[in-house]
Amino acid sequence: METISSIAKRLNVTNGRIYQIIKEIPADKQPKKDAKGKYNFTKESVEAIESYYNIVSSPKTDNESDLVKQLRADLEDAKAEIKAKNNQIDKFQQLLDQQQQLNLSTNRQNEKLLGTTTNNPLSQDDIPLKSDDTDVLKPTEGNYKGVDTKTPKRGLFGWLRR
């Protein structure tokens, strides 16, 4: 005696799919229901369900194989694109290294030029003052009164800043 579950397990589908197949097969091969509403499967009805499933599922496997082929082709394209991008990154890295070397070389040449052209003694403007009170870290008398004049920030999380 066959049941919906045993047929579904054998075909590797859900019970709901078996009910759909039963509605699709011809009426003379459909299983009959008993008084409790359960299906009574005959050998012919089981074979009809299996043959219908095989007919319906066979084109699906062809489509799946086409899908797999397409996915593999897409994967190969993606690999080729990644390889090209990696080559571009390597080339840009080489160019960046060359630029850094050129900058270093230019800086060294500038230092040499500045070192050879400044044979003159330092003028009064070039000597730093020892008592220079223009340090930005020290507050001046005009702008510092010993009181923080910041306005408290307001907003959604202003209470966190207290």
pLDDT of 111 over the 70 cut? yes
Contact in structure between 18 and 8 (CB atoms under 8 Å) = yes
Q: What residues contact residue 11 under an 8 Å CB cut-off, 6+ apart?
A: 17, 18, 49, 50, 53
Q: What angle do CA 116, 122, 127 make, to 5 degrees?
A: 130
Q: Is the pLDDT of residue 14 over 70?
A: yes
Q: Is 32 helix (H, G, I), strand (E, B) or coil?
A: strand
- At residue 130, the pLDDT reads 55
**Amino acid identity of 161?**
R
Which of the four pLDDT bands, split at 50, 70 and 90, describes residue 152? low
Lowest-pLDDT range, 44-48, 113-117, 126-130? Answer: 126-130
Q: Determine the Cα–Cα distance for residues 31 and 46; give it in Å rounded to an integer.
A: 8
Per-residue pLDDT band for 34 (boundaries 50, 70, 90) equals confident
User: Which of 54-68, 109-123, 141-155 has the least mean pLDDT?
Assistant: 141-155
Q: What is the helix (H) or strand (E) element at residue 95, kind and residue range? A: helix 43-117
Q: From CA 1, how far away is CA 42, in angstroms rounded? A: 8
pLDDT of 19 above 80:
yes
The set of residues, in sequence order, having a beta carbon less than 8 Å from that of 13 and lying 6+ positions away, is 53
Whether the CB-CB separation of 7 and 46 falls below 8 Å is answered with yes
